[in-house]
Amino acid sequence: MIRRNLIVTVAMATAIATAIPLSMTARADEANNSGTGSNSSTSLDDTKLEYPELEVTPRASERLEMEAKYEYNNTWQTHLPVQFSALMTLIAATGSNPNSNLSSNQMGAFNTAKRIGIGVGIGWLALTAGLSQWYRPYFDGYKEIKHMPAKTKREQLARERIAEEAIYEPEDLGFKLEMFSFVSNLASNVALMSANSNRNSQTMLWVAAASSFAPLLFPYRWERVAEEHRLYKKKIYGPIASAIVMPVQESRYSAPNYSPGVGLQWIF
């Protein structure tokens, strides 16, 4: 009897092991046969995909066009905080005078600090004036994408990504200009204050040193525009609230109870 049961068990296991691969093979053949005619419909199609560059409002190309118009009409206001800081440094350095009865070494140190302060002020004014005249990133970026084709989704995506590059490009330059302006103007004013300037000069140098913080308090529009566009893209993937039922188990061996709740879901 035991030998007979063993033979039956082995036979059933063999049949199951044989049937499973045959069944999987049949299903695979069926799937292949049914998918041969509709391969183009099941394959990934870029016209059915969603891209954040195309879902954001306003699109990068639209924002770039708006900023290009603003930049064209207000190009000489782009660097006002940096220019204000540089102008105050220049005025303070030009009008500073030394204390009386200085030694030749002290007088040489004062003149050197004064020349550095004047050079820093003139240098920043000249640099920002040149940037205002010849560096217009939004206007140049808009001219680049203006004539790009945008009929298919692929062409639209390429156009929007090039527009985003034009939006993000001046952000890094603006941050560097702010930091270099702050450090150079503050350092030149502090150096001149410590170089035996008289009391009247000290007051103006303190005002100029305080004005060095202007680029940090009023950052470039380039940075704000880039950050706003990133924020707009993030808002596309806002959380979705939904009602759920959660199991609540009081102890390890008790039966779970169910309680209603609210869940937040992020889909990227």
Tell me the pTM. 0.70
Cα 114 to Cα 111, 121, 133, 143, 206: the distances in Å are 5, 11, 29, 44, 15
Asked if residue 33 belongs to a domain, the reply is no
Average pLDDT over every residue of 76-101: 94
Task: Residue 197: name the closest of 184, 188, 212 by CA.
Answer: 188
CA distances from 14 to 1, 2, 147 (A): 20, 18, 69
- pLDDT (tens digit per residue) in 231-246: 998 887 665 556 676 6
Q: Of residues 84 and 234, which shows the higher confidence score?
A: 84
* Residue 82 located in a structural domain: yes
Residue 233 confidence (pLDDT):
87
Q: What is the pLDDT of residues 54-71, one digit of tens each?
A: 888 899 999 999 999 999
Give the number of domains in the chain.
Answer: 1
Domain, as residue range, for 93: 52-236
* Whole-angstrom distance, CA of residue 267 vs CA of residue 227: 22
Burial (0-12, 13-18, 19+ Cβ within 10 Å), 230: middle
Classify residue 9: in a domain, yes or no: no
Query: Counting Cβ atoms within 10 Å, is residue 163 exposed (0-12), middle (13-18) or buried (19+)?
Result: buried
Among residues 60, 188, 77, which one has the least CA distance to residue 132?
Answer: 77
Q: Assess if residue 19 is contained within a domain.
A: no
Q: What is the average pLDDT score of the chain? A: 81
| Residue type at position 185 | N
Q: What pLDDT does 254 receive?
A: 65
